[in-house]
Structure 1
């Protein structure tokens, strides 16, 4: 069942859309604080609704750490996702504030795992996304099967082009006990930031 995994829906921009999504057992809602993203939440005039959401994640890309702390405090975040080239020291400063940290790594081939920092205490979860010229939202997948032989010290989220058409392929990596959650974005949208409720509904009716 899909409910064996944590489900994170990322890149929301609309309150009504969020309220519709809340009818489903979604574990995390992701909000992007990267001004080059079409899903940049602060471009939404009425974005104050995110203050009321408990299970939310703030997504940053190489942001100044003072601004990260300001956003955490302003919108009451308890979890952040670092989707750029942030250092261990940067991540640890956030974690020491009692904030959960998801660290993204961009993957295209097996060689990209050489750049992954293993056995560090500076974050809580890995997130593996497709390596593209931009930071996320490419709608493309990497070869998930390469995760099978990876020994990881922390749980991970799988990201990058997950869709109704390919989600059964997560069975390729079901033997990796560190698979914690699925990160959904562009393949579950009508347009950037507006999630397709019908597709989300189908997702939770799948038996995988």
Structure 2
């Protein structure tokens, strides 16, 4: 089974980006949605010295093609993560230019058959907790519902993952689980991550 990968999302502060970057997560996420408390801001720049081995993910909510691709070009993004009501057609158009992650908010009643139409339009899914915000709710969903996902698209697991429940996330042992996505679970405040907590997360992931 391939190594479980690690994504840290909601990064914003340059020193914090580099501090986390020194510990080599597989993916680092930057939020370009203005309503998010982790919005990067209009003058944001990813530090030039951030390792190129870390895939840069831009997070968007209902942005159009041109807005998304402008951010991809400006920030040299490797992946776009779509958290809104983006259509299959938009995903497919973006996929011709950049890797695409489509996020879905999951609860106990989620019907995985409803996302099958996206399978040819994206590279990855992301399953997050259904809540008031478009991600970053700080609460885990019932991961047992993932047993109902029979699709072929690999997925990121997100939603309230922290040091207390990371072990449970790892033990899901779903063949489609490609990466865990950690955000609010290791934060000092929105957009600022605790380096010590992230180090412990990284150690746990790499010990598998």
Would the TM-score normalized by the shorter structure come out above 0.5? yes
Q: Tell me the CA shift for residue 152 of structure 1.
A: 1.5
Q: 1:69 Cα deviation (Å)?
A: 1.3
**Which of 175, 178, 200 is matched with 1:177 structurally?**
175
For the residues of structure 2 that align with 1:81 and 1:119, how far apart are their CA atoms? 14
8 Å contact from structure 1 (residues 51, 75) kept in 2: no
1:50 CA displacement: 4.7
Secondary structure at 2:71 match in 1: helix
Deviation per CA, 1:127-186: give whole Å up to 9, x if none. Answer: 000001220110011111111242111110000000101111125521x11100001100
Of 77-86 and 165-174, more deviation after overlay is shown by 165-174
In the comparison of the two structures, how many residue pairs are matched?
A: 202
Query: Which segment is superposed worse, 157-166 or 60-69?
Result: 60-69
Query: Counterpart in 1 of 2:39?
Result: 40
Other structure's SS at 1:116 match? helix
Alignment-derived partner of residue 63 in structure 2? 63
Distance (whole Å) between structure 2 residues aligned to residue 33 and residue 119 of structure 1: 22
- Deviation per CA, 1:58-105, whole angstroms, max 9, x where unpaired? 0000012211111111111121001111000010110112x0000101
Aligned to 2:192: 194
Partner of 2:91: 91
Residues 62 and 82 of structure 2 are in contact (CA less than 8 Å); yes or no, is this contact kept in structure 1?
yes
Preserved contact between residue 57 and residue 81 of structure 1 (Cα < 8 Å): yes
The Cα of 1:11 is off from its aligned counterpart by: 0.5
2:9 counterpart residue number: 10
Q: TM-score, normalised by structure 2?
A: 0.90
CA distance in 2, matches of 1:61, 1:50: 24
- Distance of 1:203 and 1:91 partners within structure 2: 31
CA–CA separation in structure 1 for the residues paired with 2:66 and 2:182: 28
Give 3-state SS (helix, strand or coil) of 2:162's partner.
coil
- Given that 1:144 and 1:172 are in contact with CA atoms closer than 8 Å, whether structure 2 keeps it comes out as no
Moved beyond 6 Å, runs of 4+: none
Matched, 1:166 2:165: yes
Q: What SS does the corresponding residue of 1:111 show, helix, strand or coil?
A: coil
With 156-165 and 75-84 compared, the bigger mean Cα shift is at: 75-84
- The CA RMSD measured in Å over matched residues stands at 1.9
Structure 1 residues 143, 170: CA separation in 2 closer, same or farther (over 3 Å shift)? same
